[in-house]
């Protein structure tokens, strides 16, 4: 029988199955659309403090070329520097790609660029090393990768949402391999998949607008299933009884009776539903962001933070596979090379990130919200790899990333690469360093330890990670 949660495939045996119409409890207790409140509300009830801090991660899936964006090499030969010109930034002595004029103008006021990020352990499909802060989380070499929790899941575990009734960790997901999930923390701390709950433009896997709009029907309940019925404890009791044995085995029963109501309130309450309604935003603001899918998702990310989300990830990719920023060459579909594949993305991203940061500032949210833009690695110093004349291959030796907000010291460029952009020259920054920086911003103690379902302890920073001190 069809219902609003059909896309979750509740009748398929995925570890937790209820053979009844109350299969929605699979979502409600093990993650309503990827979010469950019992764990985070239990944490709150144990007196763990909240903070007002938040993170928006702009995930450039595929690996953007650092040389063709934030770390250009204008004096190098063409096969190294690439096809784009460069422009000065508002920080003397530093230049950006010519297609980043807005970021260049705001660098001294709003942004920090880190040019010396060590990505040697990172890969994509899945893109989880930087999203977990753990260099071991590389699925091609480590089958344990799926067990490492996302930074957003850790934030949800230790802090909960910024406001009650909001998911602590949310994401706009194009491809599952582009995101890190909750791992050992359990599916209750997986991201709420916000794109399921908003009406958004539907694009092809190469970014062409189809003219269609996604249904955004996550909150729509069919077949007579109403919010009132969900709110009646008696209508849930049988399903909860069936869950009890499984939850006891997985160590997630504590606090269920007290917090099951709060989980349902997330589904039926107004806060999250209202945040996903772009139509509620003033037209002037919607026009400022523009009609592109990614820009509308950026506006929704701000609305989610405003509504109480702690950590929001935007999967900036059209394609579900390796990612739109994976620009190997024009002769290697579907993403193209630097000229035809990367170039159209750059003005779009320049507009998106500067508009988002300015909007957060105008609404008084920027000091509390750390914005990070990055992919999983950089691209080769020499152009024309894999038989192409204009592509760059994966390059894990170094990459660049952009940061803004969070009440940090911005207006700087941290680290540098060698003359050809191929290796770090000074001030290496690791995935664990980035995780430590995020945790320090959020207020999660760096020596924190979480437990898996069997009670085994794990540090949130398994590698040596230190916050980027230049920012604090």
25 and 104 belong to one structural domain: no
197 and 129 belong to one structural domain: yes
388 and 239 belong to one structural domain: no
Identify the domain boundary among 275, 309, 340. 275
Among 6-10, 327-331, 434-438, where is mean pLDDT lowest? 6-10
3 and 123 belong to one structural domain: no
Domain that holds residue 13: 1-30+225-275
7 and 46 belong to one structural domain: no
The listed range with the strongest mean pLDDT (269-283, 310-324, 453-467) is 310-324
**Segment 327-346, tens digit of pLDDT:** 999 999 899 999 999 999 99
21 and 47 belong to one structural domain: no
Confidence class of residue 387 from pLDDT cuts 50, 70 and 90? very high
Number of separate domains in the chain: 2
- Residue by residue, DSSP assigns 396-418 as -S-EEEEEEETT---SEEE-EE-
**Segment 36-78, tens digit of pLDDT:** 444 444 444 443 445 699 999 999 999 999 999 999 999 999 9
**Segment 150-167, tens digit of pLDDT:** 999 999 999 999 999 899
pTM for the model stands at 0.84
Identify the domain boundary among 239, 260, 275. 275
Query: Looking at the DSSP assignment, which residues form a beta bridge with residue 180?
Result: none
26 and 37 belong to one structural domain: no
251 and 341 belong to one structural domain: no
Q: How far is CA 262 from CA 28, 164, 222, 319, in A?
A: 10, 9, 21, 35
**The pLDDT of residue 254 is above 90:** no
341 and 408 belong to one structural domain: yes
Contact 28/187 with Cβ under 8 angstroms? Answer: no
391 and 459 belong to one structural domain: yes
49 and 102 belong to one structural domain: yes
**Any idea what the CATH number is for the domain that residue 97 is in?**
3.40.720
Element at 209 (helix H, strand E):
strand 209-213
- What distance in Å separates the CA atoms of residue 319 and residue 323, rounded to the nearest whole number? 6
169 and 283 belong to one structural domain: yes
What are 459-462's contacts with CB under 8 Å, separation 24+? Answer: 460/133, 460/154, 460/158, 460/435, 461/133, 461/432, 461/435, 461/436, 462/134, 462/136, 462/432
- Residue by residue, DSSP assigns 347-411 as HHHHHHHHHHHHHHHHTT-TTTEEEEEE-S-EE-SSS--TT-SS---EE-S-EEEEEEETT---S
pLDDT (0 to 100) of residue 248 = 53
């Amino acid at each position: 029988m069809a219902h609003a949660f059909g896309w979750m495939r509740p009748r398929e045996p995925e570890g937790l199955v209820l053979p009844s119409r109350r299969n929605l409890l699979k979502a409600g207790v093990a993650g309503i659309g990827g979010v469950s409140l019992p764990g985070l509300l239990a944490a709150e009830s144990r007196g763990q403090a909240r903070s007002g801090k938040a993170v928006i991660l702009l995930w450039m899936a595929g690996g953007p070329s650092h040389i063709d964006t934030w770390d250009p090499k204008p004096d190098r030969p063409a096969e190294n520097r690439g096809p784009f010109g460069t422009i000065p930034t508002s920080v003397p002595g530093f230049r950006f790609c010519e297609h980043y004029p807005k970021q260049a103008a705001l660098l001294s006021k709003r942004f920090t660029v880190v040019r010396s990020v060590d990505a040697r352990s990172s890969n994509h499909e899945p893109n989880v090393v930087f999203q977990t802060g753990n260099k071991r989380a590389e699925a091609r070499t480590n089958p344990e990768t799926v067990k490492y929790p996302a930074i957003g899941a850790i934030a949800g575990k230790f802090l909960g949402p910024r406001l009650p009734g909001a998911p602590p960790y949310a994401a706009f997901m194009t491809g599952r391999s582009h995101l890190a999930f909750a791992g050992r923390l359990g599916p209750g701390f997986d991201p709420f998949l916000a794109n399921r709950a908003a009406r958004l433009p539907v694009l092809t896997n190469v970014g062409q607008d189809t003219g269609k709009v996604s249904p955004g029907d996550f909150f729509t309940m069919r077949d007579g299933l109403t919010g009132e019925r969900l709110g009646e404890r008696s209508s849930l009791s049988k399903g909860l009884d069936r869950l009890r044995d499984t939850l006891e085995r997985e160590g997630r029963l504590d606090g269920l009776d007290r917090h099951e109501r709060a989980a349902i309130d997330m589904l039926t309450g107004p806060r999250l539903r209202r945040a996903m309604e772009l139509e509620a935003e003033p037209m002037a603001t919607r026009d400022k962001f523009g009609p592109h899918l990614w820009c509308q998702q950026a506006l929704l990310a701000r609305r989610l933070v405003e509504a109480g989300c702690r950590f929001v990830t935007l999967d900036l990719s059209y394609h579900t596979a390796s990612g739109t920023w994976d620009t190997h060459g024009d002769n290697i579909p579907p993403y193209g090379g630097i000229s035809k594949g990367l170039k159209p993305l750059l003005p779009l991203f320049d507009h998106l990130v500067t508009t988002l940061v300015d909007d957060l500032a105008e609404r008084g949210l920027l000091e509390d919200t750390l914005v990070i833009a990055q992919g999983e690695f950089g691209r080769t110093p020499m152009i024309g790899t894999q038989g192409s004349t204009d592509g760059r291959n994966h390059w894990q030796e170094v990459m660049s990333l952009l940061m803004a907000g969070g009440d940090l010291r911005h207006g700087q460029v941290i680290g540098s690469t060698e003359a050809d952009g191929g290796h770090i020259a000074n001030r290496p920054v690791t995935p664990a360093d980035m995780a430590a920086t995020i945790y320090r911003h959020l207020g999660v103690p760096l020596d924190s330890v979480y437990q898996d379902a069997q009670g085994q302890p794990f540090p949130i920073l398994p590698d040596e990670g230190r916050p980027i001190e230049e920012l604090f």
